[in-house]
Amino acid sequence: MDYTFRIKRYDPDVDVKPYFKEYVVDLEPNDRVLDGLNRIKWDQDGTLTYRRSCAHGVCGSDAMRINGRNYLACKTLMKEFGKKITIEPLIGFKVIKDMVVDMDPFFDGYKSVKPYLIASDPPAGEERRQTPEQVARYEDATKCILCAACTTSCPITWTNESFVGPAAIVNAARFIYDSRDEGALDRLRILNTQSGVWRCRTVFNCTDACPRHIKITEAIEDVKRALLFNRF
Ligand code: FES
């Protein structure tokens, strides 16, 4: 079956401004959007540029806008769309080429919340043991693959470059609610600033966009409650 890909192309080295180019690809309805992009790149136009690696929804490298919404191209089937689909880069970041955007601001926000275990004392035994209930408190947040689909679907990030964004807050929550961690107060202090959690307007775009179905808005609200009631 022929599908038409309408792809936003832009190479800042040669193009004055972005433009759309169409490609027709023979695919099955159960093929993924990434399969279509690969067919275009391998068979029709080697200049088409996009990130991909695992092709199985693990590495988080191929998040992009498909028909106006963020998805992972490798986890999205052609049959979810019509016979014509529009592909664009994530918005809010500088385009390096075609679907490849500059992810540095995203990772700067992520790193700013100290997304690692802070524990001063060595474990009492061979490992730091937790009950299933303690793990359940933060487990949802561990599913994040840092694809930026949530952060770049958030309208606040489109207009406020300093906002750390949903992914950073989720990764802060992942450690704030970890019983082994001692850095919660520090992370909450970081998120209690103008760039932090109060910028969130509870739009839910982030939750809708997450390919791992993380309850992102819930995690953000948890962090807000921790700041308001000093309870975590
Ligand atoms: S290519 Fe790794 S998540 Fe899609």
Nearest-atom number in ligand 1 for the CA of 62 is: 4
Determine if ligand 1 sits within 6 Å of the CB of residue 136.
Answer: no
Q: Note the pLDDT of residue 125.
A: 84
Report whether 66 contacts 76 (CB < 8 A): yes
CA distance 45 to 37: 10
CA distance 154 to 169: 13
CA of 145 to the centre of ligand 1 (A): 9
Provide the token pair at 171: 């990764």
Count Cβ atoms within 10 A of the Cβ of residue 90 and give its class: 0-12 exposed, 13-18 middle, 19 or more buried: buried
Determine if ligand 1 sits within 6 Å of the CB of residue 59.
Answer: yes
Q: Is 168 left (phi over 0), alpha (psi -120 to 50) or beta?
A: alpha
CA of 163 to the centre of ligand 1 (A): 25
CA of 131 to the centre of ligand 1 (A): 32
User: Considering only CA atoms, which of 148, 152, 11 is closest in space to residue 91?
Assistant: 152
Cα Dmax for the chain: 62
Determine if ligand 1 sits within 6 Å of the CB of residue 74.
Answer: yes
- Measured CA to CA in angstroms, residue 127 lies from 32, 36, 121 at distances of 41, 46, 12
Per-residue pLDDT in tens (0 to 9) along the chain, 232 residues? 999 999 999 999 999 999 999 999 999 999 999 999 999 999 999 999 999 999 999 999 999 999 999 999 999 999 999 999 999 999 999 999 999 999 999 999 999 999 999 999 888 888 899 999 999 999 999 999 999 999 999 999 999 989 999 999 999 999 999 999 999 999 999 999 999 999 999 999 999 999 999 999 999 999 999 999 977 6
Provide the token pair at 76: 């999205």
